[in-house]
């Protein structure tokens, strides 16, 4: 979902983007499994295309869900980093 | 190769995603790891609710899914029965209550699951017969007749093999092996007919919600009974390992090439896998009906 945060992308572009931002090789089966689940939950939607490669974008609900997840991850990361700093300071 | 991999996905999935998946695989030809990923994805797609399906279509697919899982389950269950039907097992069962109780529970669950399956099939068959009669469609009649004819042919084959075995004692002869292979082929053919014919019937005309409202809970019961049979065999396996280790280590299968406890463990794993796919299919159908 984070890959679609800056605009619509088709499958191949998502695969390349995920590799770039997370260093993960997303297999085609995993990618389309995730796209199908997100589409069913109304978090992403396909856009009309003349090309065989159909682009997807976040829906409003998808953007809200992504924002909530990233905020939570940020909060946990900040707590973890702060604790590490405190522990290192004590040591 | 990429077309063959995409063909492994369910039809509803392919309708929705095949073209764009094909375009992706054209740009990024699948390597061995991606092939494995696609195989895994196809399996999961069969277990999950396909995107863009109507509720009734989902319920129909659920019935087909449970039926397919059940037919595969039957082969593993038949292998278990074959492995544990000889006189030494019956004698051990008389001496060890847990073995006889669990084998009895397995048989009872197996019989009850067949009854539940007939309950599921009855409203669909009645609707299909009424439709065939109303529209004079011979294709529907042929499809309705296919499962009973296939089962009848299999029963006849099994009867002939039993007759041959009763009159030919001693070591297995080539003709006996050939007969067993023929029965195996007949059993697989019957299973395919029993799965494909109802599936084709449900695709050729709208069986309607009332028939599915009975069929889907009935296949839910089939899935639950499959789990009961599987759990019974799990307990049986523990009982035979603890109470009759000599019997568990005895040779099994054609020509005695297998070992009983290993064979039962493999049969148990297969039955658990098919019970799981049946339960997931049934859950999809029940949720679809509930959401209607």
Question: How many beta-carbon contacts under 8 Å exist across A and B?
Answer: 68
B18, B60: one domain: no
**Cβ-defined contact of B30 to A28 (cutoff 8 Å):** yes
> Chain A: residue nearest B28 by CA?
A12
Compute the nearest-CA separation of A66 from chain B (Å): 21
pTM above 0.80, yes or no: no
State whether residue A82 sits within 8 Å of chain B by CB: no
What is the distance in angstroms between the Cα of A52 and the nearest Cα belonging to chain B? 5
Distance CA B150, CA B109 (A): 24
Q: Is the pLDDT of residue B171 over 60?
A: no
B163 and B210 assigned to the same domain: yes
pLDDT digits 0-9 by tens, B71-85: 999 999 998 888 888
- Pick A47 or B93 by higher pLDDT: A47
Position A23 confidence tier, pLDDT thresholds 50, 70, 90: confident
pLDDT the model gives residue B53: 67
The answer to whether A1 and A66 have CB atoms below 8 angstroms apart is yes
Interface residue A17 vs chain B (CB under 8 A) = no
Q: Is the pLDDT of residue B291 over 80?
A: no
pLDDT on residue B96: 84
How far is CA B104 from each of CA A43, B81, B93, B280, rounded to the nearest angstrom?
Answer: 50, 11, 10, 26
B168 and B260 co-located in one domain = yes
C-beta atoms of A28 and B37 within 8 A: yes
Q: Average pLDDT, stretch B53-64?
A: 81
pLDDT value for A69: 94
Q: Are the beta carbons of A29 and B51 separated by less than 8 Å?
A: no
Contact B234, B103 (CB under 8 A): no
Give me the residues paired with residue A57 across strands: A45
Task: Looking at the complex, report in whole angstroms how far the Cα of residue B45 sits from the nearest Cα belonging to chain A.
Answer: 7
Kindly indicate the confidence band of residue B48, based on its pLDDT and cuts at 50, 70 and 90: confident
Do B63 and B201 have their domain in common? Answer: yes
Q: Do B45 and A51 touch (CB under 8 A)?
A: no
Mean pLDDT of B285-289: 85
Domain count, chain B: 2
What is the average pLDDT across B17-45?
85
B85 and B192 both lie in a single domain: yes
* Helices then strands, each counted (H, E), chain A: 3, 2
Q: Are residue B133 and residue B165 in the same domain, yes or no? A: yes
Quick: pLDDT tens for B102-147.
Answer: 989 999 999 999 999 999 888 888 888 888 888 888 888 888 889 8
Same domain, B123 and B178: yes
For residues B202 and B235, membership in a common domain is answered with yes
Compute the distance between CA of residue B188 and CA of residue B182 in angstroms, rounded to an integer: 10
Are B35 and B154 members of one domain?
no
Measured between alpha carbons, how far is A56 from A17 in angstroms, rounded to an integer? 14
Q: Which domain holds residue B27?
A: 1-45
Listed range (A43-47, A52-56, B114-118, B227-231) with the worst mean pLDDT: A52-56
- B222 and B77 inside one domain: yes
Is residue B241 predicted with pLDDT exceeding 80?
Answer: yes
pLDDT at A43: 92
For an interface test with A, the pick among B13, B28, B37, B47 (most A C-beta atoms closer than 10 Å) comes out as B37
Residue B271 pLDDT class (50, 70, 90 cuts): very high
Burial of B161 (0-12, 13-18, 19+ CB in 10 A): middle
Whether residue A24 lies within 8 A of chain B, CB to CB, comes out as no
Q: List the single best residue of A28, A44, A45 to mutate versus B (max B Cβ within 10 A).
A: A28
Q: Which DSSP state fits A3?
A: G
Cα distances from B220 to residues B14, B147, B223, B227, in angstroms, run 26, 21, 5, 11
Same-domain pairing of B202 and B262: yes
B260 with B195, same domain: the answer is yes
Question: How far away is chain B from the Cα of A90, in angstroms, using its nearest Cα?
Answer: 46
Nearest to B127 by CA among B235, B230, B237, B213: B213
User: B281 pLDDT band (50/70/90 cuts)?
Assistant: confident
Please state which of the ranges A57-66, B45-54, B58-67, B226-235 shows the lowest mean pLDDT: B45-54
Question: Helix (H, G, I), strand (E, B), or coil: what is residue A9?
Answer: strand
Cα Rg of chain A, angstroms: 17
Fold of the A2-87 domain: Arc Repressor Mutant, subunit A (1.10.10)
CA distance B87 to B192: 33
Cβ distance B227 to B279 under 8 Å? yes
Domains of chain A, by residue range, sit at 2-87
What number of other Cβ atoms are within 10 A of residue B180's Cβ?
A: 16
Percent of chain B having pLDDT more than 70? Answer: 94
**Do B22 and A16 touch, CB atoms closer than 8 A?**
no
Q: What are phi and psi of A46, to 5 degrees?
A: -80, 150
With a cut of 60, say whether residue A57 has pLDDT above it.
yes
């Amino acid at each position: 979902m984070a890959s679609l945060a800056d605009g619509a992308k088709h499958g191949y572009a998502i695969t390349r983007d995920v590799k770039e931002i997370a260093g993960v090789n997303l297999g085609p089966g995993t990618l389309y499994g995730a796209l199908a689940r997100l589409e069913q939950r109304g978090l992403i939607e396909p856009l009309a295309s003349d090309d065989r490669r159909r682009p997807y974008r976040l829906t409003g609900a998808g953007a809200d869900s992504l924002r909530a997840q990233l905020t939570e991850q940020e909060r946990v990361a900040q707590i973890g980093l702060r604790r590490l700093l405190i522990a290192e300071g004590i040591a | 190769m990429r077309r063959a991999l995409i063909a492994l996905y369910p039809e509803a999935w392919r309708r929705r995603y095949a073209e764009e998946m094909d375009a992706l695989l054209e740009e990024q030809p699948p390597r061995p790891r991606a092939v494995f990923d696609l195989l895994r994805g196809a399996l999961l797609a069969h277990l999950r609710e396909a995107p863009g399906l109507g509720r009734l279509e989902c319920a129909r697919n659920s019935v087909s899914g449970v039926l397919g899982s059940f037919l595969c389950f039957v082969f593993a269950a038949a292998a278990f029965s074959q492995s544990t039907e000889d006189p030494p097992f019956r004698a051990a069962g008389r001496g060890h209550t847990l073995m006889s109780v669990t084998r009895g529970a397995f048989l009872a669950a197996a019989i009850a699951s067949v009854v539940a399956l007939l309950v599921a099939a009855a409203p669909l068959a009645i609707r299909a017969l009424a439709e065939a009669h109303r529209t004079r469609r011979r294709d529907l009649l042929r499809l309705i007749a296919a499962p009973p004819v296939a089962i009848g042919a299999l029963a006849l084959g099994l009867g002939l093999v039993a007759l041959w075995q009763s009159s030919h004692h001693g070591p297995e002869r080539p003709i006996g092996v050939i007969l067993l292979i023929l029965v195996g082929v007949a059993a697989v053919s019957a299973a395919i007919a029993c799965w494909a014919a109802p599936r084709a019937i449900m695709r050729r005309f709208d069986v309607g919600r009332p028939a599915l409202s009975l069929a889907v809970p009935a296949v839910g019961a089939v899935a639950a009974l499959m789990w009961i049979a599987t759990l019974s065999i799990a307990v049986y396996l523990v009982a035979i390992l603890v109470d009759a280790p000599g019997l568990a280590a005895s040779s099994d299968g054609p020509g005695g090439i297998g070992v009983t406890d290993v064979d039962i463990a493999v049969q148990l794993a297969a039955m658990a896998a098919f019970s799981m796919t049946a339960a997931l299919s049934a859950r999809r159908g029940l949720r679809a009906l509930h959401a209607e």
